[in-house]
Structure 1
Amino acid sequence: MSPNRSDGLLAKVDFPLYTLQTLTNRHVIVAGGGGASNTGVANGFEIFELSHNGKRFVAEEVMRHETGPNVVMTCSVRSIQNRTYLTAGQESHCQLYKVNIRMVDAAEMRRGSFRAENGLVRRRRRTVSENDNISKKNNVSNTEKRMSFEIRPCDSVQTDFSNDPLQRVVRISNNGKLMATGGIDTKVRVWTFPKMELLYVLEKHTKELDDLDFSPCDTTLVSIGKDGLACLWSTAGLRPPLLTLTCQPPNGNKYLFRRCRFGPNEDKEDAHRMFTIANPLSRSGKQKGLLQLWDPKDGSLQKTVLVNESLSALTVRDDGRFVGVGTMFSGSVDIYIAFSLQRVLHVRSAHRMFVTGVQFLPVRGYGPAVASRSEAALLSISVDNCLCVHSLPYRGSVPIWIAIVLIIFVLFCTFSLCSYLGI
């Protein structure tokens, strides 16, 4: 296992963070807020552009969009025919946004007064003379283009109809044709997208929904709830679940699923894996969380890993090679190899409070990837208002000077042994 290593804080915002998504290979959107109460804490989104300066990752704030009294607890992003859509859970409703992307001059971006210094996002107001000098300099030497974003609210639909309605999760299918929502009223609703017209309602769970996810080929939808069930549904239409799974702990204690994610199988074309995290139902004593790998075709459990504490967040990289998790109590994050569930990175106390979301920087997304010295980079957020990054160094690589020293040492030892034996 690689040594404990964290690139640490990328940015700190002025509201608690609950959800995290990537817009492009180098742009990330975080969302959350303080709720409808008059606390003075904002609700909304912030978009950051990530880069690497040769030593560490750096974040620069691109834009901010506030959502008034509506806190954003969950969101999902998808690009369809060169249009990017964002759906956000806001109380009982699902709000649809269009994310307009345009290319602007780097000088124009800088005039927005958002700069990154020492890896932290800072807001600085320049004087008119400073802006004039920068503008003159950039007019001469800078023709670089940068991405700029604009978030525009569109339609909104109610997705939960309980007495105290709350949408807990929303997912858009990979092909951008379906949207699934779940909440307090225990029902999974599947909608057309982006029109958000209700197609059918899936009923199996008896308690509120915790998570949803579409398989990479969009033929299967998995749902998990506080009733302890994980249901796999066909997206072809209204049918009973294809499979109904319950958590299978190795220690005999009762566990409940917390999160679920599909991931492609890099070893087999058109195949995929399913990952879940689960926590013990009993809160007495120090209980261990579970990270599990399933075969979604027959529901068989492939591998199980015990984690030293309860888990709160789960993600799979878009190429299916790595799995990332966040913990409930210590605010730690881990990276695992997907096929073996071998832990390759542990960052203890990455956050001061429980981790609310984790997301890998994509390797197959839109636009150029961030060039760095890491094999994988995991982003994490928490209600401590912080966005952090944790990079996994390339495994098994040895600096050339160490290799040369080892070769010389082996030759010396061989020569000494031969001289001692008189060979």
Structure 2
Amino acid sequence: MAPYHRNIDDVLARINFPLYTVQMLTNRHVLVGGGGGSSKTGVANGFEIFELSHDGRKFHVEEVTRHETGPNVVMNCSVLLGEKRTYLVAGQESHCQLYNVISEFVTQENGDIENIGSDHRENTELRERKPKLKSNNNIKKRLKFVLTPSDSVQTDIDGPEPLCRVVRIHPNGKLMATGGTDGHITMWRFPSLQPLTKLKGHTKEIDDIDFSIFENYLITVAKDGHAILWDSVTGKEVKKLTWKQPEGSKYLYKRCRFGVIEGEKRSALYMLTNPTGLAKKQKSYLQQWLLEGSLKQVYEFDESISALAVRDDGRFIAVGTMFSGSVSIHTAFNLQRILNVVGAHSMFVTGLEFLPVLNQENYTVCSVAEAAVLSISVDNQVCIHTLPYRKTIPLWLAITILMFTLFMTFLFCSYINL
């Protein structure tokens, strides 16, 4: 059984609206989004950006930016970290909204903020002031972000309540895919948001989509029970993923993510699937698929699972559950659970995101954990869960034990005249 781990330090922040999406904006800045919808409940809609830090014992966050989106709840989002510009796209009702993310360094002293440098000052509301001679001990420098709305496109048009269910930017930054309640996948040129083609392989609401990093693949899952692998360049269907389900059961795919096979320039595919109808008492599964379309291995859960994340180096997978609000971390190569955070949230987990470990030359959060994953829920909480470094035997000790074992075996064999 995986180790149990739960303490109050897991809770990083409490937001005043339900949370549905989480993304790393930089190596140390996390963006969460959500809201209460367009009804007059008084619950806000929008984004919060926090800066992560570690004091040697535990993680802390400090709010950097809050951006409200009026009556439009943020249900999903995707971030593209460019060399010169960062983009954010967010599913808001039937539309997909593009934001330019502008960052700048500011100083802060006793709650006052000064702008100390930006390439986009015309877009910021920060007031510039002449620098004063102050003690460096009282001045704090940090990144500030401004989300500037740009283009908006309607991505779902069919049905009485159109909704952009999911949006994903290709890692190459040139394509974007959206899916909604109409069951269609729309491919867009990015960042111009010019429509390219519609992929019409599903008949019901889209639940999730993802692009592979190395191959030109797009994976889509929907409430029609199908998972389809597409060629994202040609728009052609490559294969429907099928597997032998337990007799008398029906399963629906819930989430899909590509990951990197550690040490190789190839992708692995991971899926979450839950039983439906009369099969609800059956197991749910974390699945690993080969890209030629065959199921490689599975890990069983006793309850429905709702959220999935893969670390950027491909070593670890995180899974969130529906009913217990638990979060678990698994090794990618064999899917075995190595950390289980029972009751991480009081309600179902809506999103997971690993702290990145690649491209960490700037602004990296240093901690004493082998892995750390953020989790969010409709309970309004942002939590973090850390995997301590697992104990291993030093190589010299392992060799010594092996040699001693061989020596004792030889003595025993000599004693019994073998």
Same fold per TM (> 0.5)?
yes
- Deviation track 1:33-55 (CA, whole Å, cap 9, x = no partner) reads 00001100000000001111111
CA pair 373-155 structure 1, distance change in 2 beyond 3 A: same
* Aligned residues of 1:174 and 1:218 also touching (Cα < 8 A): no
Once residues 294 and 259 of structure 1 are traced to their aligned partners in structure 2, the CA distance between those partners, rounded to angstroms, is 13
- Residue 98 of structure 1 corresponds to 100
CA pair 137-328 structure 1, distance change in 2 beyond 3 A: farther
Once residues 391 and 283 of structure 1 are traced to their aligned partners in structure 2, the CA distance between those partners, rounded to angstroms, is 37
Q: Structure 1 residue aligned with 2:388, among 393, 396, 399? A: 393
Report 1:238-317 matches (<5 A).
238-239=235-236, 241-249=237-245, 253-268=249-264, 270-282=265-277, 286-296=281-291, 298-317=292-311
- Deviation track 1:65-124 (CA, whole Å, cap 9, x = no partner) reads 00000000000001223200000001110000010011223x359536xxxxxxxxxxxx
- Residue 222 of structure 1 corresponds to 219
Report 1:6-17 matches (<5 A).
6=6, 7-17=9-19
- Deviation track 1:315-345 (CA, whole Å, cap 9, x = no partner) reads 1001111000100000000000001101000
Give 1:144 shift: 5.6
* Aligned residues of 2:283 and 2:301 also touching (Cα < 8 A): yes
Give the letter aligned to residue 227 of structure 1. Answer: D
Q: Compare 78-87 and 254-263 and name the one that shifted more.
A: 78-87
Once residues 160 and 235 of structure 1 are traced to their aligned partners in structure 2, the CA distance between those partners, rounded to angstroms, is 19
Give 1:140 shift: 3.5
Unpaired runs of 5+ residues, structure 1, are 113-134, 415-423
* Aligned residues of 2:97 and 2:149 also touching (Cα < 8 A): yes
Greater RCO (Cα-Cα under 8 Å, separation 6 or more): 1
Is 1:373 aligned to residue 368 of structure 2? Answer: yes
CA pair 109-307 structure 1, distance change in 2 beyond 3 A: farther
- Residue 3 of structure 1 corresponds to 3
- Residue 415 of structure 2 corresponds to none
* Aligned residues of 2:109 and 2:138 also touching (Cα < 8 A): no
Q: How much identity, in percent, do the aligned residues show?
A: 55
- Residue 76 of structure 1 corresponds to 78
Give the letter aligned to residue 184 of structure 2. Answer: K
Q: Structure 2 residue aligned with 1:358, among 331, 352, 355? A: 352
CA pair 238-285 structure 1, distance change in 2 beyond 3 A: closer
Is 1:234 aligned to residue 234 of structure 2? Answer: no
CA pair 397-189 structure 1, distance change in 2 beyond 3 A: same
Report 1:406-421 matches (<5 A).
none
- Deviation track 1:223-247 (CA, whole Å, cap 9, x = no partner) reads 11111111111122232x1111135
Give the letter aligned to residue 15 of structure 1. Answer: F
* Aligned residues of 2:109 and 2:139 also touching (Cα < 8 A): no
* Aligned residues of 1:228 and 1:246 also touching (Cα < 8 A): no
Q: Normalising by the residue count of structure 1, what TM-score does the alignment of the two structures yield?
A: 0.84
Once residues 337 and 143 of structure 2 are traced to their aligned partners in structure 1, the CA distance between those partners, rounded to angstroms, is 35
Q: Structure 2 residue aligned with 1:344, among 332, 338, 341? A: 338
Unpaired runs of 5+ residues, structure 2, are 114-130, 409-418
Give the letter aligned to residue 217 of structure 2. Answer: T
Equivalent residue of 1:211, what SS?
strand
Q: Normalising by the residue count of structure 2, what TM-score does the alignment of the two structures yield?
A: 0.85
Equivalent residue of 2:63, what SS?
strand
Q: CA RMSD in A?
A: 2.4
Q: Structure 2 residue aligned with 1:60, among 54, 58, 62? A: 62
Give the letter aligned to residue 220 of structure 1. Answer: Y
CA pair 2-370 structure 1, distance change in 2 beyond 3 A: farther
Report 1:110-149 matches (<5 A).
110-111=111-112, 139-141=135-137, 145-149=141-145
- Residue 152 of structure 1 corresponds to 148
- Residue 384 of structure 1 corresponds to 379
- Deviation track 1:151-185 (CA, whole Å, cap 9, x = no partner) reads 00000000001122101000001011100000011
Q: Give the length in aligned residue pairs.
A: 378
Give the letter aligned to residue 27 of structure 2. Answer: N
Once residues 280 and 356 of structure 1 are traced to their aligned partners in structure 2, the CA distance between those partners, rounded to angstroms, is 18
Equivalent residue of 1:141, what SS?
helix
Q: Structure 1 residue aligned with 2:22, among 6, 17, 20? A: 20
Equivalent residue of 1:169, what SS?
strand
CA pair 259-285 structure 1, distance change in 2 beyond 3 A: closer
